[in-house]
Amino acid sequence: MKLMVTGIGGVGGYIASVLCANHKEVTLIARKKRCHALQEKGLVLHSERMGEKIFHPTVLENPADAGIQDVIFVCVKNFSLLEALTAIQPCIDSHTIIVPILNGIDHYETTCRFLKEGIVINALIYITAAYNEDYSITQTGDYARVLVDAPNKEHAQCVVSLLNHAGILDCSIPQNMDVEMWTKFITNCAYNTITARYQCTTRGLLNPPERLQEFHTLLEEACFVAEAKNIPIPYDLADSVFDRMTQHRTLDATSSMARDAMAHLPIELETFSGYLVRTAHESEVPVPLSERIYKELKGMTE
């Protein structure tokens, strides 16, 4: 089976490691310095789930050189999605499965709309992973969980078979993918936004205490928007996400957007608060705190 991963950062590096540990024909797509580093040193993983590993898959800058693929995982930031999809088009025919594993709410629809061929899978991931200066990948924490779905369950099942490996990555098809997508989106609109705004870990939200209140309010506002879109989220979702993020994860945890903000890299602001605020306006749902923090983050990152 010919497998490709494009976007070898935190998420793509971990997904690629899982594939390399179990399959022979894996091609990684990376650009410039990252491509050269991966070609020279291999894909180096430091992981609480997988341990210390080095894999030596094929690494290319131009996806077209790899030819038609069976499955392609797209693991770039949301703002790089169209560029990455453009580059992989020569690798796609009508049987190719494309799995965009990104945060946000619209990457599945964007990918379906953009690609003329191929079978697109809806996917999301819970993980903490990041690339280091030497382009190695560090995964921390005891969780790495992917949820997938597609109109034809056999296609989604094919991705589960590739990714689900006990102790390394949990991958399954949920009962209601819309609810799962919105649950993740609501989490990101609040947790990623507040940790990026204050450039902090969860511990940094405890003091001053107003920050915790703001985190809860952001969760509530995002839940109101989901409800206005008739997404059947649980009635206590804001409370349960709040408890999960503050009580059941290490206080040293933070979000991918906070890490990017702290490193002065582009952030997925439009993917989270930008999209939420626009959707709230369309649905006439007031989201004053989301709007305020959206503007503040925009000012901080421009």
Ligand X SMILES: CC(C)(CO)C(=O)C(=O)O
Residues forming the site for ligand NDP (CB under 6 A): 6-12, 29-31, 34, 75-78, 80, 83-84, 87, 102-103, 125, 127-131, 256, 268
Least Cβ distance, residue 4 to ligand NDP (angstroms): 11
The candidate with the shortest Cα–Cα distance to 169, out of 177, 159, 178, is: 159
The one of ligand NDP, ligand X, none whose footprint includes residue 187, by CB under 5 to 8 A per kind, is: ligand X
Least Cβ distance, residue 143 to ligand X (angstroms): 8
Which of 6, 17, 47, 256 lies at the binding interface for ligand X (CB under 6 A)? 256
Least Cβ distance, residue 101 to ligand X (angstroms): 11
Q: N- to C-terminal Cα distance for the chain?
A: 44
DSSP states of 254-275: --HHHHHHHTT----TIIIIIH
Residue with the CB atom nearest ligand X in the bound state: 256
Which of 17, 69, 96, 103 lies at the binding interface for ligand X (CB under 6 A)? 103
Please classify residue 163 by burial: count the beta carbons closer than 10 Å to its beta carbon, then call 0-12 exposed, 13-18 middle and 19+ buried.
buried
The one of ligand X, ligand NDP, none whose footprint includes residue 131, by CB under 5 to 8 A per kind, is: ligand NDP
Residue with the CB atom nearest ligand NDP in the bound state: 9
The one of ligand NDP, ligand X, none whose footprint includes residue 44, by CB under 5 to 8 A per kind, is: none
In angstroms, rounded to a whole number, what is the distance separating the alpha carbons of residues 85 and 107?
11
Contact call for residue 111 and ligand X (CB under 6 A)? no
- Restricted to residues 174-203, the positions that interact with ligand X (CB under 6 A) are 187-188, 191-192
Q: Taking the CA of residue 60 as centre, how many other CA atoms within 13 Å lie in the half-sphere pointing to its CB?
A: 16
Please classify residue 204 by burial: count the beta carbons closer than 10 Å to its beta carbon, then call 0-12 exposed, 13-18 middle and 19+ buried.
middle
Cβ neighbors of 253 (< 8 A, separation 6 or more) are 128, 141, 201, 202, 245
